[in-house]
Structure 1
């Protein structure tokens, strides 16, 4: 089908490219693979639309640099970033840069398939983002004032002890509030919580 969405996989690891291409192919999702950012950028003007999967750490041009370049070129296809060296500040930076999803290795087949399907759905219908944003805002509205304060510390990448010091409460109390935040927002990881807050704050 000429309008079939395509997932563009940009990763210097041949094994990762192959396994992702095979996994998505088994789910009848078309893919194109690139060993680095350079050949992908050459293909951008004529590429089929869909979504992009890229690694944070690549030689010559990193995933973050690629995202910035794509943004400057006016490419709006959603980007899913994968990394084996994830941390909260990196997730925040990626999500601020406009990355659709941030997935830490090792990830399950289900996690990457869900991320790809969500990205493709968003690409096909911008209304999906509005619906997701409304649902996330509804969840965030259930947080108490103290839970929201703890959440703000978490998405800034602060450790529990630092948050405890800032709020003048015990680290154990922070852990309780942190658990409440994760439960009420239905976020499975800190990276997912960061992504949800970024979406909620979209204009």
Structure 2
């Protein structure tokens, strides 16, 4: 009997009517029906505190379960079941790993240059940067532009272009690599 009352109170609005009875409408995620909320003067403080505490506990349990599921699914995605020793806690990783900040800055500069000039350079609407890689003479960027709009947008014709840049991110040339329909992902998988 107590379980039935607990289930009903969890699914029933927490607000009190003018008669002092609980609202009979079903509760939404926040514990109140569409007509009431926690600022409603008919909601008693003790109900709100209990409801909030239960909601916080439920959210914590859900978050812990989600994290455990995510960890297991990541292991499965890799095709390997990892032991506890093989799993790495991000907090325990040494943060003093050396990174080449100049190269990162170079990639960001090239990305910014390509984003701002690709549409104008190629004469089509810029869509995305697919790749940026250093070369012997500077940088190589692959961008995607919309060559023809269609309805639905999965039928848009997308052109992939290679743009050559020097070390200072100055564009030296470009060429089209290929074209495809936005919805056709088979060639890239």
> TM-score, length-normalised on structure 2?
0.22
Greater share of residues in strand = 2
Q: Quick check: which has more Rg, 1 or 2?
A: 2
> TM-score, length-normalised on structure 1?
0.21
